[in-house]
Amino acid sequence: MRWFSWLTSSAANTLVDPVSGRKLYPIDGGIAFPDYHKQETADIPIRNVAMPSHYIVPLRVNPRFTARPIVDIGARVRKGEKIGEPEGKFGVAVHAPTSGVIRDLGHYPMTHVSGLPALAYFIEPDGKDEAIEPTPYRGACDDTDRIRDFLQQMGLAGLGGAAFPSHAKVASSPVKTLIINGAECEPWITCDDRLMREHAAEIVAGACDLAAAVHAQEVLIGIEDNKPQAIAAMQAAAANHGTVTVVAIPTIYPAGGEKQLIERLTGIEVPYGHLSAEFGVLVFNVGTARAVHRALTDGEPLIERVVTLTGAADDPGNRWVRIGHPIAELILEMAPKPEVDRYLLGGPMTGFAIPDLDAPILKGSNCIIAASPDLFPPPPPEQPCIRCGACAPVCPARLEPMALYWFARAQQFGKAQEFHLFDCIECGCCAYVCPAHIPLVDYYRYAKSEIWEREREKSKAQQSKARFEFRNYRLEREKAEKAARAAAKAAETKRRLEAQAKQSSTEASPGDTDSKQESAPSPQALGTNDPDARKKALVEAALARARAKRAAEATEPSGENRE
Ligand code: SF4
Ligand code: SF4
C-alpha cells in the first residue's frame, strides 16, 4: 500500500495530493510496472569509487554542444581546473576531474548509441587529487545574467540524462513555476532517490537559488510516491522555505518525462517544438539543483555525479563517479556476475547496450545495468502486427503508434509526420505492451533519422540553388556595370574631341588662315557650273580638313597618359 491514499475528484477526473493539498492533473497513457527493481539499490548509501587508471574527459557535453580545448598535451592540471572553454551560446566549460598530466587530446569512444568517437582529453592521475582554489559566486542572487554566465563557466548541464546546458534554461526567464524533477520513473535507477535522501538540504537550497535566478514565484518538487523516504527528507528540508512545495505524484512510467511532469503538476500541455519556458515553466533535475547550489556557494564545478550500478551484480549500489571515469573500470565496482552478457546505459526503457566499454561516464550517465539472459531475456522474434490496438492507450503523447509503425515501415515519411511522429518521446510504452514484439521505437527512430537526412539534403540543395542564382545575378550585374562604364567612356571621349575641335577652331593662329582657307572650297570653284571642277573643289576641301585635324591631334597628349 502507498504511504498515503489518493483522492479522486470525480468532477474533473483530477487527483489531489492529500499532503500538499495540490491538485494533480491527469496525464495520458503510461505503464505501471509489476516490478520496478528499485529495491536492489535504493536502501544502500552512496559510496565513492576507487580512482581509475585514467580519465577520458570529453569536450562535447551533449550531442549538440561542445567546448574548445585550452590546455596543451603534457600540461599538469588540478582538480576543478578549466580545460575546455565553452563554444557558442550553448556550450559549457569542461574541468579536470582530478590532478594529473594531460597525456593526449584525441578522439575516443563515447557512451552514445552510435558509438561515434568524440574529442576528449586523456588524463593520467597523479594520485594527489589536488584541487584549485574555489571561486564561489559573488553577485546578487537574482542577477540572472551573471548567474547564467557563472553556471556556464562551471560546466553545469542537466543530470537527468539529456545533459542540456543549465545556463541556457536560466536565460529563459521570466518564469512563474520552477519544477524540480525527482520522479525518476524508469525501473532499476535509484540515483536521484538516494541523492534526495542524503542531500535534501542542498537540493532545496539549489532550487531556491534557481528560483531567485529566474524570478520564479513558486517551486514544486515532484517525486513519485514509490519513494517515501525521499519525499519525507525533501519535505523536512523544504519546511522553512515558504515557496517550495514537495508534491507526491502517482508512480507510473513515464511520469518523470519533462512534459508529463509539467502536465501532471500544472495542467499545462507543452506542444512539440515549443519550450516550457514559453508557458512560464522550467524543469531541473534534483541532481542539477544540487550541483547548481554547490557551484554558486562552494565554487565547485560539475565534475562528478551519482551513478546507479545495478543488475546481475554482487555489489550493486549508487556511487559518486567523476566525469571521464572509464566504464570498463567502473563496472568492476559492482562485481558483475559471470552470466552478464552486456551492459545497458540508462534504464531498460530508454537505455541502450553500451557499444564500447572504454567509453567514459558523462554528465548525463545515470545508470549502468549489468544485463544477463535471466534478467533481460532476448526479445522473441518480431511478428506481423495483429492490429490489436494495445499500443494506443499507453502512449503518453496521445499518438497512434500502430499507424506510425505502418507509415515508417512503408517509408511513407510524409504520412508519419502528418500523424505527429515528432511528438513521440521514444518512451517505449507501446513496444512494451505489443503482443507481436515489434520494436516500435526502432521504427520511429529510423523514420525520424530518414526525415532528418532528407531535410539536410533538401537544405543542401536549396543552398546550392541559392548559390547558383546569386552567381548568375552577380555575373549579369557585372556585365551591365561594364557596359555602362564603356558607354560613359565613349561619351566622355566624344565630348572631349568635340571640345578640342571647337577650341582649335577658335584659337587658330593667323598662320592657320591658309589652312582654313585651304580647308574650305573656293567660292569660285563652288560657283562654277562645271561638275568636275565642283567635285574636285569639295575633295580638296575634305583633304584639307583631315590634314588640319591630324595636325591638331599631334599637338595634344594621348588620352592614355591623361588618365
Ligand atoms: S500493439 Fe503491436 S500488434 Fe497491436 S496494434 Fe500495436 S503494433 Fe500492432
Ligand atoms: S514510444 Fe512514442 S509512440 Fe510509443 S508510446 Fe512512447 S510516445 Fe507513444
Measure 432 CA to ligand 2 centroid, in angstroms. Answer: 10
Mutate which of 31, 385, 405 for ligand 1? The one with the most ligand atoms within 8 Å of its CB, which is 385
The ligand minimizing its distance to the Cα of 402 is: 1
Place of cell 542531500: 199
Residue 391 annotated as binding site: yes
Measure 347 CA to ligand 2 centroid, in angstroms. Answer: 16
Q: How far is CA 515 from CA 499, 503, 556, 559, in A?
A: 20, 16, 18, 26
Please tell me if the CB atom of residue 403 comes closer than 6 angstroms to any atom of ligand 1. no
pLDDT of the residue at 498: 86
Specify if 194 maps to a domain: no
pLDDT of the residue at 115: 66
Question: What number does the ligand 2 atom closest to the CA of 29 have?
Answer: 5
The ligand minimizing its distance to the Cα of 30 is: 2
pLDDT of the residue at 10: 36
Mutate which of 186, 419, 430 for ligand 2? The one with the most ligand atoms within 8 Å of its CB, which is 430
pLDDT digits (tens, 9 = 90+) for 39-69: 999 999 999 999 999 999 999 877 677 899 9
In this prediction, the residues of the chain whose per-residue pLDDT falls under 50 are: 1-13, 510-519, 557-563
Mutate which of 31, 405, 419, 437 for ligand 1? The one with the most ligand atoms within 8 Å of its CB, which is 405
Specify if 240 maps to a domain: no
Specify if 396 maps to a domain: yes
Expressed as residue numbers, the domain containing 412 is: 382-488
Q: In three state form, how does the secondary structure of 112-128 look?
A: CCCCCCEEEEEEEECCC
Could you say which DSSP state residue 52 is in?
P
Counting Cβ atoms within 10 Å, is residue 161 exposed (0-12), middle (13-18) or buried (19+)?
buried
Specify if 459 maps to a domain: yes
Specify if 293 maps to a domain: no
Specify if 460 maps to a domain: yes
Specify if 455 maps to a domain: yes
pLDDT of the residue at 557: 46
pLDDT of the residue at 7: 35
The ligand minimizing its distance to the Cα of 395 is: 2
What ranges in 252-298 are assigned the alpha helix state H? 258-266, 286-298
Q: Where are the beta strands (DSSP E) in 51-193?
A: 55-58, 67-69, 76-77, 82-86, 94-95, 100-108, 118-125, 177-182
Please tell me if the CB atom of residue 393 comes closer than 6 angstroms to any atom of ligand 1. no
**Which residue's alpha carbon is nearest to atom 4 within ligand 2?**
430
Specify if 428 maps to a domain: yes
Please tell me if the CB atom of residue 434 comes closer than 6 angstroms to any atom of ligand 2. no
Q: How many domains does the chain have?
A: 1
pLDDT of the residue at 497: 86
pLDDT of the residue at 525: 52
pLDDT of the residue at 555: 57
Please tell me if the CB atom of residue 405 comes closer than 6 angstroms to any atom of ligand 1. yes
Q: What are phi and psi of 77, to 5 degrees?
A: -120, 160
